[in-house]
A and B are shown apart, each in its own frame.
Chain A
Amino acid sequence: MKKSLFIAVALFLLEGIYSQPLWAKVYIDIRSPSFRRFPIAISPFSTALSPSDTMRLGERATEILSNDLSISGFFALIDPRTFTENSTRIPPAETSPGSGQGETAGPEGIDFRKWAHVGAEALVKGEVTYKDRSLSLEARLYDVVKKELIIGKRYIGEVTDLARMVHRFADEIIFALTGEQGIFQTKIVFVSKATGNKEVYLMDFDGRNVNQITRQQSICLSPRWSPDGTKIAFISYKAGNPDLYIKDLRTGEERRISHYPGLNISPAWSPDGQRLALTLSKDGNSEIYTIRPDGSGLVRLTNHPAIDVSPTWSPDGKKIAFVSNRGGNPQIYIMEATGENVQRLTFEGKYNTHPAWSPRGDRIAFDASIGGNYNICTIRPDGSDFKILTANLGRCEMPSWSPDGRHLVFSASRDGGPHIFLIDAEGTQIKKLTFQRGGDTYPNWSSRFRDGG
């Protein structure tokens, strides 16, 4: 952990060597309801290592970047096979020889007309250098139409930082072209039975770098990121009962914070990270309460003989959606964060569970049994505009939103599994993220945080 902190600092310091204000032009208007996909070309990253680039650094960087921009849904990636330019080394006229003095690399060396000819409006070029065990990534984004540089960055770190560097640059591209923060440095926590026991795992948002983070050798469930990205709340049967734990990712420490008799399940962090909503059954019935992350300050919210479970907060922290079968079967309800004013949200179907409130506040996702199939659905918090998002993916459950509210991850039992899948909020693009034996479920998407790890 400490090492990556050092690297992160190094990365941070060396960023922002080249930059240009771009307030004048709006490249992608993401607020427009039907914006067209922005055509961008990624020229394959070169490696200043050739001919013996056994690590394929340039190739991997290109692949990670292409994947990121493709997942975002903002772009139409120009097919690299249309590129006629074979050599992708940045011509000498562009590079300032390793000094990083902020000299603007003149884009005159690039034949923008050729790129415009294949339909690109923006172009990314980059180079990876590996020397003396130090990895350096230099990348630039150009406006093909105006024939000028938009942003240029250089990152320095270790060879294991390649993905992180590329994700960071991808976020810069998103910010430069849309004005919104990107999500490429975010992570997903989930449950996998790969070891034979259900344990908590971490991975990058695109499915790479899977890491096991608990070794309870029991049953672990419901992992949930704290909003600041430093802790994971989760349930474990390690002590012989479903209890609530919080793991600090910085120190590795795991602390049991709720172990009342009966259930201590379904944790949900408030958006300000000051409280957790959870389900306890200690008072005779499963009800929703809130507590502080140290386990103190218990407040009861629901008071009904039915099952009340699975809370999720609105992004402004004022309301909580949850599951209750007080109407006879499990449906989604909404209440004030004080527990008052319970209103039913879902009326379609007989089995709606696992609500997840979008960070944009405008929709709530949940899994629903419809005609014998389980699919991910979304609905507005006022109950209107019910939409079915998934189809033909087997049993789809447990949705979780990306921090920009444009994507969801969920667990689906297509191809055996279950495995974790990624889908955009319109339901048009699907990508399988996990491939482990034993089954992967319960994904939870982190917020954007300043440092990826």
Chain B
Amino acid sequence: MSRKSSVWLIVFVCVIALAFIASGCAKKQVVKEEAAAKLPPMEAKKEEVKPAVTPEAAKPAVTPEAAKPEAAPKAEAAPPEAAKPEAAPPAAAIAPESIDLSGLRIQFAFDDYSLSNKSKENLEKIGSWMSKNPNAKIQVEGHTCEIGTDEYNLALGERRANSAKKYLEGLGVTPSRMSTISYGKERPLDPGHTEEARSKNRRDEFVQTK
């Protein structure tokens, strides 16, 4: 097996070398982009690993990628070659100082306070924003749907708020920068009585505080 494959390996390397010499860097980039376009998920994994090697370039690339999958090819190009100029546009897409916290509310299942993967994604974005804004403080509001009595729901809402706060602490956010409050079922997002409305109300809201 080794003889045959080493022959093929040599041929392969020669071909690549020829292509490299003949067409220069640009072409190589094209090749890489096409590859990226074909296999976005794999490239994504690569991105996660990259931060260990090139933190400055990789981090801005990672967050826009998560938010805007269609920009993936652009992001792919950044780390291998000329990282900084490529990284600049994605970084500008999310200004470090502001974030739409209300758009990052997280949902819960009935009578539950565990975090879904989507919730964790949102929390990671918040955690990332907080690490870039060391003076920012937030309040986590825990809410429930209308089912069940006020008192139990106040306790459940608090659990939900604490779940999110603990996860953010795990991401490195200092506990003193976060406060929690439970509103139980007192402040529904949707006052309707359908299951659709109720599922919207089982949530944590994030509010920036002074």
Contact = CB atoms under 8 A, between A and B. Distances in A.
Interface of A: 198, 219, 221-222, 240-242, 262-263, 265-266, 279, 281, 286, 307, 309-310, 323, 325, 329-330, 351, 353-354, 367, 369, 374, 397-398, 441-442
A307 B152 contact: yes
Contact of A310 (B147, B149, B182): B149
A262 to B, nearest CB: 6
Given A330-B148, A354-B149, A263 B186 contact: no
Interface stretch (B4-12, B14-22, B53-61, B153-161): B153-161
Contacts of B147: 351, 369, 374
| Band of interface residues on B | 10 to 19
B45 to A, nearest CB: 37
Contacts of A351: 111, 147-148
Given A279-B151, A286-B155, 9 more contacts: A240-B181, A263-B158, A281-B158, A307-B155, A307-B156, A309-B155, A310-B149, A369-B147, A397-B149
B150 interface: yes
Q: Which of B148, B151, B158 has the most CB of A within 10 A?
A: B151
A263 B155 contact: yes
B155 A281 contact: yes
B199 interface: no
Interface of B: 111, 147-152, 154-156, 158-159, 180-183, 186
Contacts of B183: 219
B151 A222 contact: yes
Contacts of B149: 310, 353-354, 367, 397-398
B182 A279 contact: no
B101 to A, nearest CB: 18
A353 B151 contact: yes
* Nearest 8 pairs of A and B residues by beta carbon: A286-B155, A266-B151, A307-B155, A354-B149, A353-B149, A310-B151, A309-B155, A353-B152
Nearest to B187: A219
A398 B148 CA distance: 10
Contacts of B182: 242, 263
Contacts of A219: 183, 186
Nearest to B113: A307
